[in-house]
Structure 1
Amino acid sequence: MVATPISASSRYIPPGTRQYYYVPTIASLASPTRIELDAGTDLTGEVADVSGFQTTSESTDTPDLGSRFVSKIPGRISADDSSITMYASEDSQDVRQLLPRDTAGYIVQFPEGDIAGRTMDVFPVKVASAPKMTDVEDPAKIEVQFTITAEPEENVTVPA
């Protein structure tokens, strides 16, 4: 008997597909409502780069006297510090107004777009800082640095 192959993926690149929202209030991370998402701000058009916004799990050794082999189990889950780099505006009317230091809320990542029935990831965040980048040759940018304040919900169905 031959194993059933995994379904073929519809491959894509993130530009033009992936979206990021800042949402100030979400009652249930496992099921944000369309009203809550629509009350947020779509950051996508000003995003130059994104770092983080993913979870990782440690491995924990589970040795026993019955074997020399040391098995492992999944351990604690964490999310690295994350950031979204956005373009600065010469009139200072940009992400600095929306996300100053210590702002708490949620970054919602739509890997395949804000389309009902697809999935999204919801990260509870607090802005750690928003430094202006100092490169003199590239367009002016601001790197909004976030701490992830609680366990995110991943692969949540996007509501209609």
Structure 2
Amino acid sequence: MVATPISASSRYIPPGVRQYYYVAAIANQASPTRSELDAGIDLTGEIAEVSGFTTTSESTETPDLGSRFTGKIPGRISADDSSITMYASDDSQDVRQLLPRDTDGFIVQFPEGDQAGHTMDVFPVKVASAPKATDIEDPGKIEVQFTITAEPSEDVTVPA
């Protein structure tokens, strides 16, 4: 008997599908309410690129005297350095007003869009800095750098 194959996926590319919200307050990050999400700011239309907003787990070795083999178990979880690069406005009315240094809140990532029943990831964040890009040939951009302040809630069901 052969193994059952994984079900076929509906593949996609992130542009036009993935969304990012900044939400100032969420009472329970493992279960944000629709009203909390709706009170957020949809950053998607101004995003040039995103980096990070992922978690990784270290491996911890578990040697014992009963074997020469050293097994491993999942260890501490950490979040990668994260940033969202957004377009700057020539009148300074852009992300700099919304997310100045030391702003706390949540970045909510909707990998398949803000649709009830799909999943989202909720990252508690603090703005570390927001440097302006200095390239004179590209559009003006601001890279908002975030620290992830606590363990994110991943694969949370998007509420109706």
Range into which the TM-score falls when normalised by the shorter chain: over 0.9
SS state of the match for residue 11, structure 1? coil
Letter in 1 for 2:149: T
Counterpart in 1 of 2:135? 135
Counterpart in 1 of 2:122? 122
TM-score for both structures, normalised by structure 1 = 0.99
SS state of the match for residue 139, structure 2? coil
The answer to whether the aligner puts 1:44 opposite 2:44 as a matched pair is yes
Counterpart in 1 of 2:15? 15
Counterpart in 2 of 1:98? 98
1:116 positional shift:
0.3
Q: What runs of 5+ residues in structure 2 fail to find an aligned partner? A: none
1:21 positional shift:
0.1
CA distance in 1, matches of 2:69, 2:134: 51
1:81 positional shift:
1.5
Aligned CA RMSD, in angstroms, stands at 0.4
SS state of the match for residue 146, structure 2? strand
SS state of the match for residue 147, structure 1? strand
Q: What runs of 5+ residues in structure 1 fail to find an aligned partner? A: none
SS state of the match for residue 36, structure 1? helix
Task: Name the % identity.
Answer: 86
Q: How many residues align?
A: 160
CA distance in 2, matches of 1:125, 1:52: 12
CA distance in 1, matches of 2:17, 2:48: 14
SS state of the match for residue 135, structure 2? coil
Letter in 1 for 2:100: P
CA offsets 1:89-118 (integer angstroms, 9 cap, x no match):
000000000000000000000000000000
TM-score for both structures, normalised by structure 2 = 0.99
CA offsets 1:2-47 (integer angstroms, 9 cap, x no match):
1111001110000000000000000001100000000000000000
